[in-house]
Amino acid sequence: MPITRHHSGRWLFQFNRVIPGAGRQRANRLLPPGWTRAQALEYEQKETARLYALASGVGSRQFLIEDSVLEYLKGRGPDLKSLKDITSSLRIIHPYYAGKTLDQLPEISATYIRQADVGPATIHHRLSYLRSACRWAWKHKGMGEHDPGERMLLPSVRNARHIYLTREQVMPVFRSMGLSWSRDAARVAFYTGWRIGEVLRGVPLETPSGLALSIPDTKNGAPKIVPVHHKVEHLVRRHWPPQVTTWTVSKDTKAALRDCGLGHARLHDLRHSAASEMINSGFDLYTVGAVLGHKSVASTARYAHLAHARLRDAVGAIGGKKMQPEPKKRAA
């Protein structure tokens, strides 16, 4: 009997048959929890037909999504920092892709978006992991003839933060942190627009135009160099990188923000604040993106509304009274 009860209470599909011209073919799969006997029998019918067609050379090979996921976790898993979260997410949506082939990935995505009882951000998060797993198996294990995720839809998520602190707001925060490595790191983060992880990995570099911070590899894979602001140059020259972790800097900064009545903000908002300061000083989005290390203009587009505010001021000046230059004084 291809379908039997596993000791865990779930249904188990077992295929062990001799197919003329192909020899003995075996397959064992534990079906998702909660499946009824009717669902298990339907799976058994379709999967048996698929295995027969594949072994007989009648149909082209159709790779299963769950096999792709297993290959991904086995081959890529040891290097993944978020392996626990990835595994948990893939386990949660397993009933949607169990027994389905890679070609059915777009259909599975649409079904999960329609039926899931969680928010768009969580749906996007989980389906992104599934897409990454299938793409990795396709690219590195030859599972499939084309990119399985190219037609896969993900829900749009608007989670960009728009919290911008002025220099007048952040200076009391830095003073509240006292003399510490965390304060030095947070100050440099504000005056460079870098992520705190980049700040702590930055290496001082003397350039023809002055002192700079450099890191060989960034989030987008390219090296990055940013000039050091004169207000924090003494910190970088004296002791860099600071002996502190990103977690400690984040914790200390958050505590100081709360003490200063800015509990709604967080450490990463210093990066957005740096972008705001540059844009409000008249620099274009392309230049700001270069400082922040954005690989795509789309990443800098989140600050477009700040640039539009300056444009509105410029347009509002059209037709206004112009300042008259003071008359030159005659020489005595």
Q: Show the domain range for 47.
A: 3-56
Establish whether the linkage from the previous residue to 242 is cis, with ω within 30° of 0. no
10 Å CB burial of residue 248 (0-12, 13-18, 19+) is middle
Q: What are phi and psi of 150, to 5 degrees?
A: -70, -25
Whether 293 and 221 map to the same domain: the answer is yes
Q: What is the pLDDT of residues 138-168, one digit of tens each?
A: 888 888 777 888 888 888 776 667 788 888 9
Residue 156 lies in a domain: no
Residue 155 lies in a domain: no
- DSSP helix/strand/coil, 78: helix
Distant-in-sequence, close-in-space partners of 252: CB < 8 Å, separation ≥ 6: 177, 180, 182, 183, 186
For residue 131, pLDDT over 70 is answered with: yes
Q: What local confidence, expressed as pLDDT, does residue 54 receive? A: 66
C-alpha to C-alpha distance for 146 and 260, rounded to whole angstroms: 54
pTM: predicted TM-score of the whole model, two decimal places: 0.53
Q: What is the pLDDT of residues 1-36, one digit of tens each?
A: 578 888 888 888 888 777 666 677 777 888 888 888
Residue 149 lies in a domain: no
Q: What local confidence, expressed as pLDDT, does residue 224 receive? A: 80
Q: What is the pLDDT of residues 54-110, one digit of tens each?
A: 666 655 567 889 989 999 999 988 887 788 899 999 999 999 998 888 888 989 999
C-alpha to C-alpha distance for 220 and 294, rounded to whole angstroms: 8
DSSP readout, 240-306?
-S-S--HHHHHHHHHHHHHHTT-TT--TTHHHHHHHHHHHHTT--HHHHHHHHT-SSHHHHGGGHHH
pLDDT band for position 239 (cuts 50, 70, 90): confident
Tell me the residue type at 13: F
C-alpha to C-alpha distance for 257 and 235, rounded to whole angstroms: 22
Whether 70 and 203 map to the same domain: the answer is no
* Long-range contacts of 46-49, Cβ-Cβ distance < 8 Å, separation of 24 or more: 46/99, 47/13, 47/15, 47/99, 48/2, 48/15
For residue 306, pLDDT over 80 is answered with: no
User: Pick the residue with more confidence: 315 or 173?
Assistant: 173
Whether 106 and 125 map to the same domain: the answer is yes
Please compute the mean of the pLDDT values over residues 241-252 and round it to a whole number.
92
Whether 123 and 27 map to the same domain: the answer is no
C-alpha to C-alpha distance for 32 and 275, rounded to whole angstroms: 48
Please compute the mean of the pLDDT values over residues 266-276 and round it to a whole number.
89
pLDDT band for position 121 (cuts 50, 70, 90): confident
pLDDT band for position 294 (cuts 50, 70, 90): confident
Q: What local confidence, expressed as pLDDT, does residue 188 receive? A: 93
C-alpha to C-alpha distance for 265 and 29, rounded to whole angstroms: 48
C-alpha to C-alpha distance for 200 and 235, rounded to whole angstroms: 13
* Among the listed residues 154, 56, 174, the one whose alpha carbon sits nearest the alpha carbon of residue 113: 154
Whether 177 and 274 map to the same domain: the answer is yes
- Taking each helix axis from N to C end, the angle separating 181-192 and 269-280, rounded to the nearest 10 degrees, works out to 40
Whether 86 and 27 map to the same domain: the answer is no
Whether 174 and 137 map to the same domain: the answer is no
pLDDT band for position 299 (cuts 50, 70, 90): confident
Q: What local confidence, expressed as pLDDT, does residue 323 receive? A: 54
Q: What local confidence, expressed as pLDDT, does residue 21 receive? A: 64
Whether 184 and 299 map to the same domain: the answer is yes
Whether 260 and 304 map to the same domain: the answer is yes
User: Pick the residue with more confidence: 303 or 88?
Assistant: 88
Residue 172 lies in a domain: yes
Residue 147 lies in a domain: no
Whether 237 and 307 map to the same domain: the answer is yes
Number of domains in the chain: 3
Report whether 14 contacts 4 (CB < 8 A): yes
C-alpha to C-alpha distance for 282 and 311, rounded to whole angstroms: 10
Q: What local confidence, expressed as pLDDT, does residue 258 receive? A: 95
For residue 284, pLDDT over 70 is answered with: yes
Tell me, what CATH number does 275's domain have? 1.10.443.10
Residue 329 lies in a domain: no
- Average pLDDT, whole number, for the chain? 83
Residue 148 lies in a domain: no
Please compute the mean of the pLDDT values over residues 117-139 and round it to a whole number.
91
Q: What is the pLDDT of residues 197-237, one digit of tens each?
A: 889 988 998 988 889 888 876 555 567 888 889 999 999 99
Whether 185 and 305 map to the same domain: the answer is yes
Whether 85 and 52 map to the same domain: the answer is no
